[in-house]
Structure 1
Amino acid sequence: MSSDSGSAGSHYAAKPWLGLLSPAQRAPLAPPPSVLHAFREAVARAPERTALAYFDGRIDYAQADALSDSIAGRLAAEGVRPGDRVAVMLQNTPHFVLAVLAAWKAGAVVVPLNPMYKSAEVGHVLRDSGAGVLVCEGGAWEAYLRGAVRGSAVRFVLTARDTDFQTRDDPRVFPGPAAQASPGRALATGSPAPAAAPGSRCAEPSPTRPSTVPASDAGAAPADPGLHPRTPAPRTPAVPEGAQTPTGPQAAPPEAGRDRAQTLTGPGSALAGPGDARAPAGPGAESPEAGREELQDQAGLRHAQVSAGPEAESPEAGRDRARILAGPGSALAGPGDARAPAGPEGGYAPAGEAAAQVPVVRGLFTVARQGHPAPANPGPTAADIALIGYTSGTSGTPKGAMNPHGALMHNATRQVTGHPLPEGATYFALAPLFHITGMVCELAACFANAGTLVLAHRFEAGAVLDAFLEHRPAYTVGPATAFMALAAHPAVTRDHFASFQVISSGGAPLPPALVDRLRTAFGFYLRNGYGLTETTAASASVPVHLEAPVDPASGTLSVGLPGADTVVRVLDEQGAEVPFGETGEIAVRGPQVVPGYWGLPAETAEAFPGGELRTGDVGFMDEDGWLYVVDRKKDMINASGFKVWPREVEDVLYAHPAVREAAVVGVPDPYRGENVKAYVSLRPGASADPEELSAHCAARLAAYKYPRRVEILPVLPKTTSGKILRRELRDRG
C-alpha cells in the first residue's frame, strides 16, 4: 500500500474520524497569523479585562500590552532583530508571558527552557540555538546561569524575581523567612493581603525549606534584591500614548516614551520591595517535604529559588503601591526595599576580571516600567518561527523543533472553537508554560479567547486547589500525576472542580482507572490527548461531546480523534499503511506539524519525509478513527510527561570512576507512568552503592532525568556484537 497519505488508496486519508467531530470542529479555520495578533485583538476588544492573575496580583490587557511593549523596545535597543533568538527560562509567572510577548513584538524567536535544567543542559541549548538574550530568575542567574552562558552568544540578560507582581508570598510556593516575615504588606483599605482564597480549606503552614538550586551549580553570590523591585505598574485606562496599538505597532517619538514611563511608574511610585532571605541549599540538602518537591519535579513546575538575605527596610519605602495588583480603584501598600539597584535601570555592572566576559544584566521588572516604545514591526507572519522547542529525538541529542506562529494559532484556535467556553473565560495554567502544552493550550488559547490566564508559579497541590476556589477557572490541562496529587490532598472537595467546563490531560499516559476515580470522587471527566513538540501540542484529543473508548483487548484508553485538518496514519517498518486495528508507527501530517529541526537538515529529512512526522510512537487506530498509543518505538523514557533519553543518563553514569557499564531504561510506575532505572556493572576493584550513583546523577541532571533506582549487576546482558540489551533489562525491571 502506498505511503502517500494523499493517495486514493489510503483509508487514513479518508479521515473516518470526521463523522464523530462536531460541526464546529469540522468547520474551516481562519485564525490570526500569530498569537501576538490574537493578543492585540484581545487588547482592542477588552483592554481592561484581566489578562494575567498571579495570586493577589492582576494585570489587564492594556497593561500587559504596555509592559511588554517596553521590554520589546529595550530588546530592540540591545540589538535584537527579527529572527534573533530569545531564551526564556522561567516558571509560570507574569514575567514569562511578558517576555514572550516582548520577544515576538521585537520579531524574535522564543526558546523556552525548563527551569529545572542545569548548567550543561542550559549551555547546550543556548549554544545550539544561538540565543543572544536570556530571561531568567535572578537567583538562578547568580547561582549558576552566569556560568552556563559562557561560550554562548548571550549578550543581554533580563532577570526576574518570582515574587514580583503579587504581595501574598504564599509560603507553600515561596518558601523562606523573607516570604513569611513580611505580613505587614496590606491593601490600601488596611486589610491584610490574604494568604489564600476566601473560604479556602487548603492553606496549611509549611516549614521553611532550603532552596533547591542544584548543588553542583550553587556557590555563586546570591542575587541583589534591589535588582528586582516588586512594585508593579499602576493601572492605566487605555494604552498610553506611543504604545503599540492593537492593529500594529507605531513608532513613538522620544517624548512619548518619557510620558509613557511616567504613566507606568506614577508620581512617587516605589521601585523596591522586601528582599528574600532564601539561600542556596548545600550539596545533598534534603527537603523535609520531599514528597511535595518530587511531584513538582515530575510536573516540571519547580526550579531553583535563590535570593539574598533580608535587608533593612526604609519606613518610607513602598508608598503609592501600584493598583495593578488589586484591580480597578484600589492600591496595595506595603514596605519595600530600602536597597537601591547597584547600577542603572535595576541592573548592575559585573565586577572583577570577568566583567568583560559576561553579558549586560538588567531587571525585567524595571525595564517593563520604563516606557520604551515598541519597535515598529508589523508582526510575524504565520510562516515565521515562533518557538524553538528542544526535545530529544532518535539520536538522543536535544533537537530544536521549529514551531511556526501559524501552527501555534491553528491548534489554539481549534481548541477555542472546539470547547464550549465563553469569551473571556478563565484558564488555569497547570501545565508549565515552557512546555508546548502550556504554551498552546493555556497561553495561546487564552489570548485567542481574550480570556484570563491564572498563574501559580509552580505546582503545589494546596495552593493550586486554593486558586481553583479563588479564580473559578473554566479550563485547565496537566499531566496525570498532577491530578493524582490534587485528588490525594486532604482538603480536596468536589467544589474545587465545580467551575471547570473542560479538564484535559496530556504529556503522559492516562490510566483509565484514574479517569474513573476522579469522576466518581469529584464529578469531572478528565479528557485525554496526544501530541508532541513537533506537532505543536495536540494532534488528537477527545471532543467535549464524547468520551474516549477503552480498547477491550489491551485496556488502553484512547488518546482521542485527530482534527479535521490533520491526517494521522499508522505505518509498518517499510512506511506502508497497516489496516485499522493493527499496530505500527504513528505518523502525523497537518498544519500543526513543524517544518523541521533547527540547523539539522539530515535529521529533519529523516523525521519528516515529505513533511509528514514519523513520531516513533507505536499505536493503532480503530475503524471510527479513535487513536490509541500503546508503546514507543524509541527507547525514550516518558516520566510524568517529560522525555528522558537513556544515553544522556548513561553518559553521566560513565563519568563516575567506579562504573564500567551502564544502561538506563524506563520501568512502569503507577504514579509517573514510567520511572528512570539504571543498571550498572562496576570496574574491577572499585566500589559504589546505588545511593551514591543516584546522587552522582542527581547533581548533574534535571530532577526528572536522574535514576531514582540503580541496580548493580556483575555484568550487563549483551548481544554477540557487544551491544547492551536494554530490552532484557526493561523486562527485568
Structure 2
Amino acid sequence: MSSTFTNDGIQEPPVATTLDAWRSRVQTHPDHPAVAYFDGALTARELDDLSDALAVALDEWGVGRGDRVGIYLQNVPQYALALLALWKIGAAALVLNPMYRGNELRRLVDDAEPIGIICEDVSAAATAETLRGSSVRFSISTSALDFQTRNDPRVFESTTRAAPAADGDLVELLMRFRGRRPPLVELGGGDLALLTYTSGTTGPPKGALNSHANVLATALDFGDCAGVVDGDVVFAVAPLFHITGAVLNAGVALVRDCVLVFANRFNAAVALETFVEHRVTYTIGSITVFNALSEVPGVSADHFASVKTLYSGGAPIPPATVEKFEARFGKYIHNAYGMTETTAGVIAVPPGLRAPVDPSSGSLSIGLPLPRVDIRAVDPNGDPVPPHTAGELEIAGPQVVSGYWRNPDASRDTLPGGRLRTGDVAIIDEAGWVYLVDRLKDQINVSGYKVWPREVEDTLYEHPAVHEAAVVGQPDDYQGESVVAYVSLRKGATATEDELVAFARDRLAAYKRPRLVHIISDLPKTQTGKIRRSDLR
C-alpha cells in the first residue's frame, strides 16, 4: 500500500449536504437496517419516516431555517432522529453535553440562543429550571428506554419513566405526526448543520460553525479512507455531543448503507457485549475508551473478532498503549486527528499501515492528511518549516469551518485566510506522516530547555503498572519550571512514586525527568476523555 492517501476514488461529493446523502441512501436501500439499539432496530425507511414526523412537529413550533435547537441526550436512536429532523427544516443542531448542569449548560445556551431543546425525561425538570428566562421557547423530552426492551441496569439507572418535559414526549409526538412530511427546504453546503462547542481545555468554549459541506466532506472522506463500506456496522462509542461521535461515527454511517449501533451512555462491559452481539466492524473512540475496554474482566480477542478497523481520536496515543492492545487482542488501533474546527478527523493512519514513530520526539504518528486536506507546519511568523522540524500545525480544506459563532476576533486570529492555526506543535516528514508533539500552551521551560509533556508521558506509559499519565510544569524559583507527573495505575498493579521517578530517570535527559511523580486514583478528564492538564496544574 502507498505511504499516503491518494485521490483515487475521492472526488467532490455528488450532493451538497449530509441530508442529501441520507435521502439517496433511503431511496436506494429503504428496507436495510439503519439503527440498532440493544434488541431494537429501525430500517432506513422507518428512521426517515420518524424524522419526518419530528420535523413536522418542530415546524409547527416555528423552528425554521437558521434556527438552533439543542440536543441534550446520551447516545440513543433519538439523536439520529433529531439530527435528520432539524436538517429537514433547515435548522441546526446545537449539540450539548448531557453531563453539563447548571451554569455549564446555561453558558452555552445563552451564547448559542437555541429556540428549543430536546432532553432526557429524567433531567427535564432540572433542565427547565436551569433554562428559565433563556432563549428556549419549547422543551420536549424523551426516554432512553424507548426503541428497546432489554432495560439493562448497567446503563439504565431506572426502568421508571419520568414525567415528560413541558411540551411533551418525543415518541408521543412521533406517533401524532407520523405520516406527514415537513415543507421542503432547499439546503446548501454553506448552511449550518452543527453548532459544536470546543472542549474549553485551552480557554472558554467557542461555537464552531460546522456547515453541511464541512460535515459531508469529513463523513465521506474519512469513512472512505478508513475503509468503511456499505453493509458495515458502526458502533457509536464516542459521544454524539462531541464532533468525533457526531461525524466520524454517526455521519460516516448515515451517508452509507451502514448500521449505526447505539448503547446509551458508555459502559465498558456493555460495550464489549455490543461488539459481539451486533458484529461491529468499525468504530472510533478516545484512547480512554480502549483502556477501559482492556480492563474489563474476561475480555479477549473474541470480543473484537468482527472488527475490521479501530480508530482512536481526541488525544494522542502512546506507542506502548497501541502495542499492548494489539498483543492482547490482535487489533491495531489506528491513530486519527481532528478538531472541532476541522469537523473531526482530517489526518489518519490508513488501514493496513502502521504508524511510524518519530525518532527525535518519540511520538507515534497521527497519520497522513486525507485527500483534499492541505497541511503544513509553520513558524511563529506563519512561514513553513522544513521537514522534520517542529512547527505549529496549520490545516486547510473543505472540512475546516468558516469561523466561530458570533466571535469575529477568535475567527480572525485562529483562521487567518481560511487556514486553521491549530495550536498543536507537529513534525511532518518527507513522506507526509504527521507527528503531534504537544500543545503550544503546554510546553514546559526548564532552565531555557523546552520540554514537551507528551514525550515524558509516553515514557511513563512504558512502565507496565502505569494506566494513564499526565505531565505539567510547576513554577520553580531556580530553573523557571520543573517537570511534575501524575499517574494512575492499572488494576492490580503496584508501583511507588520513587520507582516511577527512577524509571523515567533512566530513559530521559536530565532536564526532561520528572522531579515528582504523584500517584492518584484517576486523572481529571473532559467528558470526551481528554486529560485536563489545566486541572492538575
TM-score scaled to structure 1, two decimals? 0.60
Matches within 5 A, 1:153-164: 153-164=135-146
* 1:50 pairs with 2:33: yes
Shift of 1:489: 1.1
* 1:123 pairs with 2:106: yes
* 1:40 pairs with 2:23: yes
Spell out, residue by residue over 1:619-670, the C-alpha distance to the aligned partner (whole angstroms, 9 max, x if none).
111111111111101359999xxxxxx9xxxxxxxxxxxxxxxxxx996546
Look up the SS of the partner of 1:481 in the other structure.
helix
User: Among 464, 475, 478, which residue is 2:271 paired with?
Assistant: 464
Match of 1:352 in 2: none
* 1:367 pairs with 2:173: yes
**Structure 2 CA distance for aligned equivalents of residues 126 and 493 of structure 1:** 43
* 1:150 pairs with 2:132: yes
Matches within 5 A, 1:593-612: 593-612=400-419
Sort the Cα spacing of 1:90 and 1:706 in 2 relative to 1 into closer, same or farther, 3 A: same
* 1:172 pairs with 2:154: yes
User: Among 43, 52, 55, which residue is 1:72 paired with?
Assistant: 55
Look up the SS of the partner of 2:417 in the other structure.
helix
Look up the SS of the partner of 1:111 in the other structure.
strand
Look up the SS of the partner of 1:370 in the other structure.
helix
* 1:504 pairs with 2:322: no
User: Among 195, 212, 215, which residue is 1:408 paired with?
Assistant: 215
Spell out, residue by residue over 1:280-320, the C-alpha distance to the aligned partner (whole angstroms, 9 max, x if none).
xxxxxxxxxxxxxxxxxxxxxxxxxxx47xxxxxxxxxxxx
Spell out, residue by residue over 1:585-611, the C-alpha distance to the aligned partner (whole angstroms, 9 max, x if none).
111111100000001111111110000
Q: Which amino acid aligns with 1:523?
A: G
**Structure 2 CA distance for aligned equivalents of residues 624 and 422 of structure 1:** 27
Shift of 1:21: 2.9
**Structure 1 CA distance for aligned equivalents of residues 251 and 364 of structure 2:** 27
**Structure 2 CA distance for aligned equivalents of residues 705 and 510 of structure 1:** 12
Match of 1:629 in 2: 436
Contact conserved, 2:57 with 2:177, CA < 8 A, in 1? no
Matches within 5 A, 1:198-209: none
Q: Which amino acid aligns with 2:130?
A: A
Matches within 5 A, 1:409-488: 409-488=216-295
Sort the Cα spacing of 1:67 and 1:61 in 2 relative to 1 into closer, same or farther, 3 A: same
Q: Which amino acid aligns with 1:606?
A: D
Q: Which amino acid aligns with 2:205?
A: P
Shift of 1:552: 1.9
Contact conserved, 1:565 with 1:590, CA < 8 A, in 2? yes
Contact conserved, 1:110 with 1:387, CA < 8 A, in 2? yes
Spell out, residue by residue over 1:510-541, the C-alpha distance to the aligned partner (whole angstroms, 9 max, x if none).
11111111111111110001100000001210
Look up the SS of the partner of 1:559 in the other structure.
coil
Cα RMSD, aligned residues only: 3.0
**Structure 1 CA distance for aligned equivalents of residues 224 and 337 of structure 2:** 18
Shift of 1:36: 1.2
Moved beyond 6 Å, runs of 4+ = 636-639, 701-709
* 1:107 pairs with 2:90: yes
Sort the Cα spacing of 1:669 and 1:510 in 2 relative to 1 into closer, same or farther, 3 A: farther
Shift of 1:168: 0.2
Contact conserved, 2:209 with 2:405, CA < 8 A, in 1? yes
Decide which structure has the larger Cα Rg and report it.
1
Shift of 1:154: 0.4
**Structure 2 CA distance for aligned equivalents of residues 366 and 510 of structure 1:** 44
Sort the Cα spacing of 1:611 and 1:89 in 2 relative to 1 into closer, same or farther, 3 A: same
Shift of 1:20: 2.7
Match of 1:97 in 2: 80
Sort the Cα spacing of 1:704 and 1:558 in 2 relative to 1 into closer, same or farther, 3 A: closer
Contact conserved, 2:222 with 2:346, CA < 8 A, in 1? no
Larger CA deviation: 597-606 vs 413-422: 413-422
Sort the Cα spacing of 1:517 and 1:99 in 2 relative to 1 into closer, same or farther, 3 A: same
Shift of 1:487: 1.2
Shift of 1:394: 9.1
Spell out, residue by residue over 1:182-227, the C-alpha distance to the aligned partner (whole angstroms, 9 max, x if none).
xxxxxxxxxxxxxxxxxxxxxxxxxxxxxxxxxxxxxxxxxxxxxx
Q: Which amino acid aligns with 1:515?
A: V
Look up the SS of the partner of 2:176 in the other structure.
coil
Match of 1:197 in 2: none
* 1:523 pairs with 2:326: no
**Structure 2 CA distance for aligned equivalents of residues 61 and 44 of structure 1:** 9
Contact conserved, 1:66 with 1:371, CA < 8 A, in 2? no
Sort the Cα spacing of 1:628 and 1:704 in 2 relative to 1 into closer, same or farther, 3 A: closer
Task: Report how many aligned residue pairs link the two structures.
Answer: 470
Contact conserved, 2:197 with 2:206, CA < 8 A, in 1? yes
**Structure 1 CA distance for aligned equivalents of residues 341 and 229 of structure 2:** 29
Match of 2:446 in 1: none
Spell out, residue by residue over 1:380-439, the C-alpha distance to the aligned partner (whole angstroms, 9 max, x if none).
211111011111569822110000101111111112322334412111111111111111
Sort the Cα spacing of 1:395 and 1:412 in 2 relative to 1 into closer, same or farther, 3 A: closer
**Structure 2 CA distance for aligned equivalents of residues 65 and 706 of structure 1:** 34
Spell out, residue by residue over 1:325-362, the C-alpha distance to the aligned partner (whole angstroms, 9 max, x if none).
xxxxxxxxxxxxxxxxxxxxxx67xxxxxxxxxxx521
Contact conserved, 1:107 with 1:377, CA < 8 A, in 2? no
Match of 2:300 in 1: 493
User: Among 137, 140, 158, which residue is 2:123 paired with?
Assistant: 140
Sort the Cα spacing of 1:24 and 1:702 in 2 relative to 1 into closer, same or farther, 3 A: closer
**Structure 2 CA distance for aligned equivalents of residues 87 and 117 of structure 1:** 13
Look up the SS of the partner of 2:86 in the other structure.
helix
Look up the SS of the partner of 1:369 in the other structure.
helix
Sort the Cα spacing of 1:619 and 1:94 in 2 relative to 1 into closer, same or farther, 3 A: same
Look up the SS of the partner of 1:508 in the other structure.
coil
**Structure 2 CA distance for aligned equivalents of residues 400 and 528 of structure 1:** 26
Spell out, residue by residue over 1:16-49, the C-alpha distance to the aligned partner (whole angstroms, 9 max, x if none).
xx96335565732324212211111111111111
Percent identical = 41
**Structure 2 CA distance for aligned equivalents of residues 405 and 135 of structure 1:** 21
User: Among 494, 503, 513, which residue is 2:320 paired with?
Assistant: 513
Contact conserved, 1:118 with 1:702, CA < 8 A, in 2? no
Look up the SS of the partner of 1:20 in the other structure.
coil
Sort the Cα spacing of 1:393 and 1:604 in 2 relative to 1 into closer, same or farther, 3 A: farther
* 1:87 pairs with 2:70: yes
Q: Which amino acid aligns with 2:135?
A: A
Which of the pair has the greater relative contact order for Cα pairs under 8 Å at 6+ separation? 1
**Structure 2 CA distance for aligned equivalents of residues 615 and 38 of structure 1:** 29
Look up the SS of the partner of 1:80 in the other structure.
coil
Spell out, residue by residue over 1:145-196, the C-alpha distance to the aligned partner (whole angstroms, 9 max, x if none).
11221232100111011111111011111134xx4xxxxxxxxxxxxxxxxx
Look up the SS of the partner of 1:28 in the other structure.
coil
Matches within 5 A, 1:683-702: none
Matches within 5 A, 1:353-392: 360-371=166-177, 373-392=180-199
Contact conserved, 1:558 with 1:626, CA < 8 A, in 2? yes
Sort the Cα spacing of 1:158 and 1:671 in 2 relative to 1 into closer, same or farther, 3 A: farther
Q: Which amino acid aligns with 1:34?
A: T
